[in-house]
Amino acid sequence: MKIPDPKAFLINLFQVAVDAADPAKLMDAHLPAQPKGRTIVIGAGKASGAMAEAFEASWRKAERGPLEGLVVTSHGNKRTTHEIEVIEAAHPVPDEGSEIAAKRLLETVSGLSNDDLVVALISGGGSSILSLPADPLTAKDKRAVNKALLAGGVPIHEMNCVRKHLSAIKGGRLAAAVHPAKLVSLVISDIPGDDPALVASGPTIPDATTRSDALDIVDRYGLELPQAALDWLNNPESAAPIPQDSLFVGNEVTLIAAAQMSLEAAAKSARAQGIEAHILSDAFEGEARIVGQNHAAMSRQIVERGQPFKTPTLLLSGGETTVTLRHKGRGGRNSEFLLSLARGIEGLQNVFALAADTDGIDGSENNAGAFCDGDSLKRMRDAGNDPIRSLDGNDAYTAFEAANDLVVTGPTATNVNDFRAILII
């Protein structure tokens, strides 16, 4: 089978995956019943502004009465709402706005009754966007913690374990402030395994991890945290609420979008075009360059051995890889994954790949991700770039920019983490 434009084909699949997690297309099915008292909407995350816009529209269409509330999203993701206020804060490292937003959210849910309803719109990125240090810590301490976690190659679920024990709002603490009102959390998951309690470090959903777990993570990864953070983790008062606490009885949690849903939508689209699709996993973790090497090895096995799949075929995967920073180059985990993969498929004329973050931003650059094929490294060298040096220097963005193979979409209104697609024809 011949695909006239493999790059366009893969970019279209990415858009299909993003559309499958669009809150505007999902919210109607997840509205809670109207309460006797007030309905207050809160939220945090990269997609939470779009979720607030969608919730408002669905609530109005269902004629369920007045709304009020406050949602915080990342810079560039603010949406148009009428009753729910949407404000912005920084990602991936918290800023002053992150702390102001957290304090305002706690004020928004104070003094409620059991006749009131609070709807929490939670998505990935909320850990940074909603940042309120526990009493002994400063905002500077929290920023240092986030930088250490991001640079240390720590998987997202372990990052969030540390974050929640250093927070005055995460790990179910915002939910405790909502009590005795009914709390309904609507979650878009960016976490491998889709545990809602881990998304955005679970401000409205407690999990069972302990401060001892957090200390173990710090030790295992050799993280250099501020002394105030270490002292607080060693203090029994840093323990977060446990799921069995009576404060959380009657609360509801619904996962409205996740990576598996998006991968299935992309697979369905490919099959409709005559390409058999295989979802390898929705939960890949580990070093981006190693995962890239593994995907390249599988691609070569298919090309050279016809195993485990015959061509034409499409390999899909999701999850969240990590990058341990060795140098201060430009790029995120998807572009680093893809540059590693490009190295592994060099010379193959029938392998094409795309890797991108479904929120539209890979790391801190302006691209969602990038595209590659068997000639990518040649295009980079022809443009004056050394792709191997770029990979070693955590500088994948520069390499793909040189090859004119960046994928730039802008913010997408959702966040179900990494999307990877490899087309072999």
Q: Which residues contact 401 (CB under 8 A, 6 or more apart)?
A: none
Query: Which CATH number is 243's domain given?
Result: 3.40.50.10180
Q: Name the strands in the sheet holding 84-89, side by side, starting at the edge strand that comes first in the sequence.
A: 84-89, 68-74, 39-44, 117-123, 182-188, 252-257
Helix, strand or coil, per DSSP, at residue 319: strand
Structural domain tally of the chain? 2
Helix, strand or coil, per DSSP, at residue 236: helix
Shared domain check, 418 and 322: yes
Residue 355 lies in a domain: yes
* C-alpha distances out from residue 224 to 145, 217, 256, Å: 8, 11, 36
Residue 372 lies in a domain: yes
Q: Where are the alpha helices (DSSP H) in 191-324?
A: 211-220, 227-233, 259-272, 288-305
What is the predicted pLDDT for the residue at 1? 65
Shared domain check, 269 and 252: no
Residue 132 lies in a domain: yes
Shared domain check, 231 and 121: yes
Q: What's the CA gap between 275 and 352, in Å, rounded? A: 14
* C-alpha distances out from residue 106 to 13, 26, 150, 179, Å: 40, 27, 27, 11
What is the predicted pLDDT for the residue at 357? 97
Choose the final residue of a domain: 196, 229, 257.
Answer: 257
Q: For residue 44, what are the domain limits?
A: 23-257
Choose the final residue of a domain: 232, 257, 282.
Answer: 257
28 burial type by CB count under 10 A (0-12 exposed, 13-18 middle, 19+ buried): middle
Tens of pLDDT, residue by residue over 393-402, are 999 999 999 9
What is the predicted pLDDT for the residue at 35? 97
The residue type of 137 is L
What is the predicted pLDDT for the residue at 176? 94
Shared domain check, 279 and 253: no
Q: What's the CA gap between 183 and 198, in Å, rounded? A: 17
280 burial type by CB count under 10 A (0-12 exposed, 13-18 middle, 19+ buried): middle
Residue 1 lies in a domain: no
What is the predicted pLDDT for the residue at 64? 94
Shared domain check, 412 and 264: yes
Shared domain check, 117 and 44: yes
Q: What is the mean pLDDT of each run of 10 residues along the chain (425 residues)?
A: 89 98 97 97 96 98 96 91 95 88 96 97 92 90 89 87 93 95 97 92 92 96 95 93 91 97 98 97 96 98 97 97 87 96 97 97 92 98 97 96 97 95 97
* C-alpha distances out from residue 256 to 55, 111, 196, 217, Å: 12, 29, 10, 30
Shared domain check, 59 and 198: yes
Residue 137 lies in a domain: yes
How many Cα neighbours within 13 Å face the side chain of 111? 2
Q: Which residues contact 247 (CB under 8 A, 6 or more apart)?
A: 172, 175, 176, 179, 241
Exposure string over 350-373, b if 16+ CB within 10 A, otherwise e: bbbbbbbbbbbbbbebebbbbbbb
**What pTM does this model have?**
0.90
Shared domain check, 115 and 160: yes
Q: Which residues contact 254 (CB under 8 A, 6 or more apart)?
A: 30, 184, 185, 186, 187
Query: Which CATH number is 409's domain given?
Result: 3.40.1480.10
What is the predicted pLDDT for the residue at 328? 81
How many Cα neighbours within 13 Å face the side chain of 66? 6
Choose the final residue of a domain: 223, 257, 291.
Answer: 257
Shared domain check, 326 and 249: no
Shared domain check, 192 and 142: yes
Residue pair 285/219 in contact (Cβ under 8 Å)? The answer is: no
What is the predicted pLDDT for the residue at 244? 92
Q: Where are the alpha helices (DSSP H) in 152-208?
A: 156-165, 173-178
